[in-house]
Every structure is written in C-alpha cells, then in structure tokens.
Amino acid sequence: MVKFNLQFAAFRRKHLADYPIIEAVTLATLTAMIGWFNRFLRIDMTEGMAILFRECDGGGDYDHLCQTSVQWPMAYSLFIATILRIGMVVVSYGSKVPAGIFVPSMAIGATFGRMVGIIVKAMERSSHQSGIFAVCKPDVPCITPGTYAFLGAAAALSGVMRITVTVVVIMFELTGALTYILPTMIVLLVTKAVGDFLGTNGIADEAIRFNGYPFLDKDDHAYNVPISKVMRADLHTLPVSDITVRGIEETLANTDVKGFPIVSTDSRNRLMGYIGRTELRYVLSGLLFSSFSPYVLLHCLKDKARKMQDMSLDTPCSFASESEDHDEVEFSGIATGPGVGMDEDISLELIETTASPDVFKLWPWVNQVGFTHDIWWWDSASCV
C-alpha cells in the first residue's frame, strides 16, 4: 500500500498539483458514491470499528453480522470493503485535505480481521473435532471474530506506520483491558518481521522523503566522516570595518542567506559576531525611524534628519564594538530582531549613537552572545 501511495503521489505532483480543490471534491464524490453500496463503508470508520470489535454474545449483531445463515455474504462484503478502502487510502492520502492515516489503516485491518474471524469460525463449526479445533469445547464459544478484527486493526496500523509499542498502547486505550495485550504483541512482532523482510518504511516517513522535508533517520549513521565534509568555503561574510553602505547593499542584493558572520579584517578572519539579514535590512531601510511614536518623533525629528542627511552610500560602516561606544550605551548582543527588547528611549539613543556622517556604527545590532574571540575562528570554511 505504501509503494502504491508513493506512485500516486508522483502522479499527483505531475498532473494534479495545480488543482487541489478539484482533486479534493472529486475524491469526496467518488468516495461517497463507492462507499454507499457497501454496508461497512457507508458508516463512519470509528463507528464501524466499534461494531466490528463487538462479540456476537454481547448484542453486537449489526445488520446480521453474527447470523450463521449469511456468514459467507457477510465475509464477501467485508472483503470488498477491505479492497475498496485500501484503494481509497492509496489515492486520498497526501491530498490537500486535513486528515490522518491512523483510523483509515485501523479500519482496513478491522474489516479484514473480521472477515478472517468469520471464515475461521465457519471452519471450526464444520470440523470442530479435527486439527487445531480439537481443543475447543463444544458448548463454549472458541472463535470470536471480534478479537480477530481487533488484532487485524493493530496489525494494519503497525504495518502502515511501522510502529510497535505505540500500537500496543493505542489498542489498550481502545479496550481498557489487558486480555489482548499478549496476542497484540505477537501480531505486532509478526508484522514487524514481515515489514523488515520486505524492506518497507512507514507511509509517513516515505511521504516526508518524497516531499523533500528534513528527516532524521534513526538508522542513518555516518561514522569516521571528517567535519570538513559538512563544511563549505564559499561563505558570505561581512568585515568588521572597511565597508561602506553601498557594499552592504550590494551584498544584500547578491545573496539570499539569512545572516552574515562578522569577521575581522586581518588574514585570520576571526569571528567577531553575527548579524541577521532582517536586522541589517531593517537598519539600512530606515524602518527603525518610522517605528517611533509621534511624541518621540517630535523630539528627535530635527536632530535625526540632520544626521541622516549627511549619510550617503559611500558612508563607511563599522560593526566593531569600540570602547567609546560602550561608554555611551551598552546594548551589544541584545538585539536579535527589529526593535526586539528595546523601548522608544533605547531606540532613540541607538539612533543618536549610530547615525554619524563619519561612520555608520552597526554594532548594537550585532549578536555577540556565545562568541569567544579567543576560541572561535572563521578560517577557510564553516559549517553549513
């Protein structure tokens, strides 16, 4: 079922990617039309599982489910329901509909398990004194189809999702009894052995891989791999000084990275800090000035305008946290986003400190937390 679902997912990506609503409406219409003609597909899946889990001695005769006279038509109806539901799950899982896979897979196993239970019970009635049925007492029910449905649901959920212990907990919560824990564990062990032999993964894991989402496989280990294999040399960095506003603008225009390491200007390329792309663009675009309240604007408009008019694209920039800057205001490393952690007075003081016709000081927006200058180096490569 997992492999068929992946094949249909490839078909969906190629031909149906631009029509998600039409696909969802079509699937809903076909499901309703096909399911209406089967008694076990017509009802809700959770209600259907509750019916299939019932024992015949406890009043669980839904639509003559426990009647011996119609056992073979009932088994045929369960078989058709199983095949159709498998096809529906293969086609519908992965569509643009907020739905899951737990209940559908359990419903598939429940219909199949109940069908097997009915067949085994019919065999026991016809030859109760031969083979494995010789241990059954004549006057005591020996085969309970509801238990087969329960175990089938557990096996199907485990096989589709490739989970074991979680299934035991889920099935125990459904029944609230410890009677079926041992047979459930036996069924799950067999299911896991078959899945491992076939080499299949869970349907959710395969969907993650198919869509290219980040996935950490527990079996995907890499030993004896040097760190240089996961590092790169073509980094986009910014020097701590000797750069103009024009140079920063060109770097932002030619890259799409989320941030820039700040490195020293000497040959050692020592890591001095980090500034995010959002923070850098925020400062250069003048959004910080427009975020003040009218009260603050009235007090700083004249001085701010005078300082900003003297700046140009050729104004030098500096990311260095100099001693005189610390004497005026100490905020280095606290700004991790535009205006984060700053009130209006602090933002005003930063503007007055950084806006200068001689050099545009950007150190208040550089994140230096966690960087030790004597330890961290940015030589010829860095982690991705």
Is residue 222 one of the residues assigned to a domain? no
Beta pairing partners, 383 = 231
CATH number of 79's domain: 1.10.3080.10
On whether both 116 and 249 belong to a single domain, the answer is: no
Residue span of the structural domain in which 93 resides = 2-211
Question: From CA 382, how far away is CA 73, in angstroms rounded?
Answer: 68
In 226-313, DSSP assigns E strands to: 231-232, 238-239, 243-244, 259-263, 271-276
- Which of 211, 240, 261 finishes a domain? 211
**What is the tally of structural domains in the chain?**
2
Give one DSSP letter per residue of 263-326, joined into a string.
Answer: E-SSTT-BEEEEEEHHHHHHHHHTHHHHTS-HHHHHHHHHHHHHHHHT--TT-EEE----HHHH
The model carries a pTM of: 0.59
Given a contact cutoff of 8 angstroms between Cβ atoms, the answer to whether 78 and 48 are in contact is: no
Which phi and psi (to 5°) does residue 16 adopt? -115, 5
On whether both 268 and 185 belong to a single domain, the answer is: no
Question: From CA 270, how far away is CA 233, in angstroms rounded?
Answer: 15
On whether both 7 and 114 belong to a single domain, the answer is: yes
On whether both 138 and 77 belong to a single domain, the answer is: yes
pLDDT attached to residue 77: 92
Residue in 354, 341, 375, 381 with CA at minimum distance from that of residue 261: 381
pLDDT attached to residue 39: 87
pLDDT attached to residue 369: 63
Average pLDDT, consecutive stretches of 10 residues, N- to C-terminus, the chain (384 residues): 89 90 92 90 88 75 77 92 93 87 92 92 80 75 86 92 87 77 90 87 88 76 78 83 87 89 85 87 63 43 48 81 47 41 48 60 76 44 41
Residue in 343, 233, 331, 355 with CA at minimum distance from that of residue 283: 355
Over the stretch 95-132, which tens digit does the pLDDT of each residue have? 888 888 899 999 999 999 999 999 988 888 887 777 77
pLDDT attached to residue 230: 76
pLDDT attached to residue 55: 82
Q: Which amino acid is at 296?
A: V
On whether both 154 and 241 belong to a single domain, the answer is: no
Is residue 164 one of the residues assigned to a domain? yes
- Which of 149, 177, 211 finishes a domain? 211
pLDDT attached to residue 84: 94
pLDDT attached to residue 174: 76
**Cα→Cα distances 276→126, 256, 266, 284, 319, Å:** 77, 11, 22, 13, 13
On whether both 206 and 252 belong to a single domain, the answer is: no
pLDDT attached to residue 376: 43
Letter string b/e over residues 274-306, b meaning 16 or more CB atoms within 10 A of that residue's CB: bbbbebbebbbeeebbeebeeebeeebeeebee
